[in-house]
């Protein structure tokens, strides 16, 4: 049950990062469009100031997108390691159960042989 809840939480978080990246990319495209519109409109120093502001905002959006991607990659790595640890624990538990059942079967077999004597 915990594994399903953890997997669901991880999937929701990764989806959130993905959607956030899409919103950032959309904002970046809109900023570029505004920049192009202002360049087409002309306007001397005001136009240059606005162009500089747009370039700075574009850079900020690029950095935000890169940060979101790095966060997503780190989450995926942690989720992979978490899954590997759970898998290893499950293997060990399976081995312990198998050994326990094997020992129980041997004991029952020995007891039945003792009873048959």
Residues 42-71: tens digit of each pLDDT: 555 666 777 778 788 888 878 887 877 787
Residue 59, judged by CB atoms within 10 A of its CB (0-12, 13-18, 19+), counts as: exposed
Residues 73-97: tens digit of each pLDDT: 887 787 778 777 777 777 787 788 8
Distance of alpha carbon 96 from alpha carbon 102, whole angstroms: 10
* Residue 52, token pair as written in the block: 């500089």
Residues 95-109: tens digit of each pLDDT: 888 888 888 888 888
How far does the chain reach from its first CA to its final CA, in angstroms? 48
Neighbours of 84 (CB within 10 A): 10
Three-state DSSP class for residue 96: helix
């Amino acid at each position: 049950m915990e594994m399903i809840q953890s997997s669901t939480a991880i999937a929701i978080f990764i989806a959130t990062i993905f959607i956030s990246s899409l919103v950032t990319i959309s904002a970046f495209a809109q900023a570029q469009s505004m920049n192009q519109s202002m360049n087409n409109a002309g306007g001397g120093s005001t136009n240059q100031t606005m162009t500089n502001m747009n370039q700075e905002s574009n850079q900020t959006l690029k950095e935000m997108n890169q940060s979101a991607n790095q966060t997503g990659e780190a989450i995926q790595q942690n989720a992979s390691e978490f899954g590997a640890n759970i898998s290893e624990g499950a293997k060990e538990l399976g081995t312990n159960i198998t050994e326990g059942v094997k020992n129980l079967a041997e004991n029952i077999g020995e007891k039945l042989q003792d009873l048959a004597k």
